[in-house]
């Protein structure tokens, strides 16, 4: 019988980032964005239950049996740490585990845009790091938090489900809180964090209107708030936040967002020509005309704001893609697939 750690070790040896397990199917791993079989032996229902129960704390397992969904962290000591999602599908129990880097890489080491160092110097406001699942949002946020930790004395509270990167205090004090362990929900945890004298709050994911409202309030109160969303551009991010609210509250949401938004960093991963993947970014920073664009729902103007302020660190996704294309790092087809203005990259 397979054990979870045996499968994870095999995945790591093959260079995988994610492990996919489902009853009736063989174990699979994702390598450079492509799913491969780990072996050809279908997992039986009893085997799956034993594997999952063996690594899940009792109270989280009992909760999973009731709710059919759970997020937690799993670690192979000395090897790697993983974010783990338990769920049910039509065949029974299933899980997906994603590797969390064993150490926190810095902004320069990751090759992230220099503008992120400037973001780490902000004292207040809302900064959103966005992108699809698996695009490296958590890694980018960890690098920004590490930059703050290295350079200034601040009280930093992270609120995650589960805690992914464990920061060690340097100049800052960092308190990690996990939803389900230290608070009932993101919203409840955020209310608690507001009373803990924070300078910086990191919200693993803004999943509800209540959490978004609280995040905006924290930013308006003078805290620096970081959060993630599953959007792939600045414009779509603003739309997503506003659309979360009922129609009669959307105007007020725009006003609050206009007053507090300091930046949006949207991130995608592209396949490299020589193998592996590379991050590509769109960066929108607060500019004189941005608040009015948000207040007046004139989001079509955001592209011009970005293009006209590249010297301040802003860049559009399409310009980032064109740079990689010019450097012969990605293919025309890959740029076309990821572009916003696809006509600009249409293969001939």
* CA-based nearest residue to 55, from 31, 84, 12: 84
CB atoms within 10 A of CB 222: 10
Among 100, 122, 141, the domain-final residue is: 100
pLDDT, tens digit (0-9, with 9 covering 90-100), for 148-165: 999 999 999 999 988 989
Residue labelled with tokens 């209310």: 191
Q: What is the mean pLDDT of residues 62-73?
A: 92
Q: What is the mean pLDDT of the chain?
A: 94
Percent of the chain with pLDDT over 70: 99
Q: Which residues contact 49 (CB under 8 A, 6 or more apart)?
A: 93
Residue 226, C-beta contacts closer than 8 angstroms, at least 6 positions apart: 127, 128, 129, 141, 144, 145, 200, 201, 202, 203
Bridge pairing between strands 125-130 and 261-271: parallel
**Average pLDDT value for residue range 309-337:** 96
| Distance of alpha carbon 128 from alpha carbon 231, whole angstroms | 10
- For residues 309 and 322, give the distance between their C-alpha atoms in angstroms, rounded to a whole number: 17
Q: Checking phi first, is residue 276 left (phi over 0); if not, alpha (psi -120 to 50) or beta?
A: left
Question: What mean pLDDT is predicted for residues 245-254?
Answer: 97
Q: 151 near 116, Cβ under 8 Å?
A: no
Residue 78 to residue 131: CA distance in whole angstroms = 30
Burial letters 250-271, b for 16+ CB under 10 A, else e: eeebbebbbebbbbbbbbbbbb
Mean pLDDT for 326-331 is: 96
Token reading at 180: 């389900």
For 297-321, the pLDDT digits (tens) are: 999 999 999 999 999 999 999 999 9
Of 75, 100, 125, which residue sits at a domain end?
100
By DSSP bridging, strand 80-89 and strand 69-76 are: antiparallel
Per-residue pLDDT band for 239 (boundaries 50, 70, 90) equals: very high
Say whether both 79 and 133 belong to one domain. no
**DSSP 3-state of 71:** strand
Residue 263: pLDDT above 90? yes
The structure tokens listed for 21 are: 């397990």
- Report the number of distinct structural domains present in the chain: 2
Give the pLDDT band (50/70/90) at residue 291: very high
Domain check: are 135 and 95 in the same one? no
- What is the rounded average pLDDT of the residues 162-181? 93
Residue range of the domain that includes 170:
107-345
Same domain, 177 and 238: yes
For helices 209-220 and 250-260, the axis angle rounded to 10 degrees is 40
Q: What is the pLDDT of residue 1?
A: 55
Query: Poorest-confidence range of 22-26, 102-106, 142-146, 242-246?
Result: 102-106
**Average pLDDT, integer, range 284-289:** 92
> Is residue 260 domain-shared with residue 167, that is, in the same domain?
yes
Taking the C-alpha atoms of residue 150 and residue 148, their distance in angstroms, rounded to an integer, is: 5
Q: Confidence class of residue 131 from pLDDT cuts 50, 70 and 90?
A: very high
Closest by CA to 149, choosing from 176, 189, 111, 188, is: 176
The verdict on 46 and 169 lying in the same domain is no
> Taking the CA atoms of the chain, what radius of gyration do you get in angstroms?
21
Residue range 110-128: mean pLDDT, rounded? 97
- CA–CA separation, 60 and 69 (whole Å): 10
Domain shared by 93 and 169, yes or no:
no
Q: Does the structure show a pLDDT above 60 at 267?
A: yes
pLDDT digits (tens, 9 = 90+) for 99-115: 988 789 999 999 999 99
pTM: 0.88
Same domain, 72 and 175: no
pLDDT at 253: 97
Q: Residue 209 sits in a domain of what CATH number? A: 3.40.50.300
pLDDT of residue 173: 97
Clarify whether residues 154 and 218 are in a common domain.
yes
Are the C-beta atoms of residues 126 and 241 closer than 8 Å to each other?
no
d(CA 98, CA 308): 38
Are the CB atoms for 141 and 228 separated by under 8 Å?
Answer: yes
Residue 2 pLDDT exceeds 80:
no
Cβ-contact 324, 270 below 8 angstroms: yes
Token pair for 140 = 């980018």
For the domain that residue 50 is a member of, what is the CATH number? 3.30.450.90
């Amino acid at each position: 019988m397979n054990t979870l750690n045996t499968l994870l070790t095999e995945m790591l040896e093959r260079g995988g980032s994610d492990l996919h397990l489902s009853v009736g199917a063989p174990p699979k791993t994702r390598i450079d964005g492509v799913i491969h079989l780990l072996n050809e032996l279908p997992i039986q229902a009893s085997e799956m239950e034993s594997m999952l129960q063996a690594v899940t704390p009792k109270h989280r397992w009992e909760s999973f049996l009731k709710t059919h969904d759970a997020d937690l962290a799993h670690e192979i000591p000395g090897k790697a740490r993983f974010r783990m999602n338990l769920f049910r599908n039509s065949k029974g129990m299933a899980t997906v585990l994603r590797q969390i880097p064993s150490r926190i890489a810095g902004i320069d080491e990751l090759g992230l845009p220099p503008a992120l160092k400037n973001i780490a110097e902000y004292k207040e406001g809302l900064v959103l790091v966005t992108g699809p699942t698996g695009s490296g949002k958590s890694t980018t946020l960890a690098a920004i938090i590490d930059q703050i930790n290295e350079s200034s004395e601040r009280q930093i509270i992270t609120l995650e489900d589960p805690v992914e990167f464990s920061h060690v205090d340097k100049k800052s004090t960092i308190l990690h809180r996990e939803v389900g362990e230290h608070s009932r929900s993101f919203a409840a945890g955020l209310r608690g964090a507001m009373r803990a004298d924070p300078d910086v709050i990191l919200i693993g994911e803004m999943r509800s209107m209540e959490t978004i409202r609280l995040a905006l309030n924290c930013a308006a109160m003078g805290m620096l708030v970081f959060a993630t969303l599953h959007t792939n551009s600045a414009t779509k991010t603003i739309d997503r936040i506003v659309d979360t609210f009922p129609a009669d509250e959307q105007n007020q949401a725009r006003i609050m967002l206009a007053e507090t938004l300091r930046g949006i960093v949207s991130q995608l991963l592209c396949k490299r020509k020589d193998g592996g993947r590379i991050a590509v970014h769109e960066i929108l920073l607060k500019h004189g005309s941005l608040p009015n664009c948000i207040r007046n729902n004139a989001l079509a103007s955001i592209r011009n704001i970005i293009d006209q302020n590249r010297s301040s660190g802003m860049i559009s996704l399409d310009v980032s893609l064109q740079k990689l294309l010019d450097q012969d790092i990605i293919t025309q087809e890959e740029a076309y697939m990821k572009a916003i203005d696809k006509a600009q990259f249409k293969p001939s």
